[in-house]
Amino acid sequence: MGAPSRTGRVKSPPSAKPGLRRRQRRLNIAETVGLAWSSLLANKVRSVLTMLGVIIGIAAVIVMVTIGQGAQAQTDKQLQSLGSNLLFVQSGTANFGGPASQGAGSATTLTWDDAKAIAATSAAVAGVAPVLSSRSQVVWQSFNTNTTVQGTTPQYVPVADFLPLTGRFFNQADLDQAARVAVLGQTVVSNLGLTPQSALGQSLRIRGEDFVVIGTLEYKGANQARDQDDEVLMPLTTMASRIVGINAISGIALNSILVSAKSPDQMDAAQFQITNLLRLRHKIVPSSGDDFIIRNQADLVNAANSVAGTFTALLAGSAAISLVVGGIGIMNMMLVSVRERTREIGVRKAIGARSHDILWQFLIEALVLAVTGGGIGIALGLGISALVGGVLGWPAHVATGTILLSFGICLAIGLFFGVVPARQAAHLDPITALHTE
């Protein structure tokens, strides 16, 4: 007991007051949360319907972000599957006297001799694979398919990192002899009604010529440009003589040249060396533009990631609109609740409840609605993300940051949309409230 004061009241020890206040605050918060739950449970259907906006919004945000990130990871994987440290050298753009451009690779400005020169003189280059391609009909028995037929060299395997699944790839002897052999991508194998094993040794007909299948390629999948498995590969000499004919005044014209740098650090050096070499070989004066195009694999990856990031942000932004709708629903319910419980608020104020007690009661009710709906929405979003990832075959890992951000959004919605009803309840006049029927 403390010492009596001049008025006869007993003073509490100073050290006891802070602890007592903390206990009172804890009791008040617990009591306020209990009152909030009681109020929400008294109107279960209305509370659930109010939470639906938040549930759907949070679930949609998580699913959309997961799909966007999965698409980005899949794009990265497919671009990396093209090979490592790659540079894509394409022939120039054809323009036949009009404003319409035919697109990169339409002009015959690159030749096999250019590819040989790059391999021989560029110090930063590890490998070179020339490519001559054309669309053609491929026939086997009663099956046929229209696919991309590409002529290249044995260097295509290490440069493009494209290994045979069954059989073998053509070798230097096949290239020198212009052998009529072919290696099939898995989409072509499937379209012709074959299997990787049964395709070996079969005779295909391409533009009136018979070709023997000596191998099938491993699965690569489709990227943003094309299906990498929908192609037939043959020796470049065979392609030039049997399929498209010798298509340049000197040597064999190419659509593109795949070049692998010795390391990621040397990609810029390789691009610089190739540019200078080709300008010199093609007799391009300093004031003129290049008649070829060089694309860096890293640039392609960055561009794809930028597009995927924008796509993800757009999806998440669209889904977030439903969160705003859900927040408005919470505000609407709380305003209705204030009107319905005006007399209750008056009674509480009459028996000693302060304005901030009433404010916190209604604010906590709004927070409970938002957080409960958010928790259900997060669980629903995780479940749907796993399902979508399984169906699409994409990685469906939901980042912890996404979950924490979603939970933070729920708290922000509860606070933002709960403030107006809570302030309205806190500022009610107790006399007027008691007289309300």
Strands 203-206 and 143-152: unpaired
- Can you give the pLDDT at residue 37? 73
Q: Which 8-state DSSP code applies to residue 104?
A: B
What does the alpha-carbon distance between residue 247 and residue 431 come to, in Å, rounded to a whole number? 98
Neighbouring CB atoms inside 10 A of 107's CB total: 18
Q: Give residues with Cβ within 8 angstroms of 13, minimum separation 6.
A: 2
Burial annotation 63-75 (CB, 10 A radius, 16+ → b, else e)? bbbbbbbbbbbbb
- Can you give the pLDDT at residue 404? 81
The domain segmentation of the chain, as residue ranges, is: 29-75+304-434, 108-290
pLDDT in tens, 265-305: 888 899 999 999 999 999 988 888 888 998 887 666 666 66
Neighbouring CB atoms inside 10 A of 393's CB total: 10
* Closest C-alpha among 238, 246, 253, 229 to residue 130: 253
The angle formed by the CA atoms of residues 281, 134 and 249, to the nearest 5 degrees, is 35
* Matching residue, tokens 């339409």: 106
- Can you give the pLDDT at residue 102? 44
- Can you give the pLDDT at residue 27? 46
Structure tokens at 195: 């299997």
Give Cα 168 distance to the centre of its chain: 35
Q: Which amino acid is at 387?
A: L
pTM above 0.95, yes or no: no
Q: Residue ranges of the chain with pLDDT lower than 50?
A: 1, 5-16, 20-21, 23-27, 94-106
What does the alpha-carbon distance between residue 75 and residue 110 come to, in Å, rounded to a whole number? 29
Q: Which 8-state DSSP code applies to residue 193?
A: T
What does the alpha-carbon distance between residue 363 and residue 88 come to, in Å, rounded to a whole number? 60
Q: In this structure, are residues 230 and 188 in contact, taking their beta carbons and an 8 Å threshold?
A: yes
Q: In this structure, are residues 110 and 256 in contact, taking their beta carbons and an 8 Å threshold?
A: yes
* Closest C-alpha among 164, 270, 269, 147 to residue 213: 164
What does the alpha-carbon distance between residue 407 and residue 375 come to, in Å, rounded to a whole number? 7
Q: Give residues with Cβ within 8 angstroms of 71, minimum separation 6.
A: 308, 311, 312, 394
On the CB side of 153, CA atoms within 13 Å amount to 19
pLDDT in tens, 253-270: 899 999 999 888 888 899
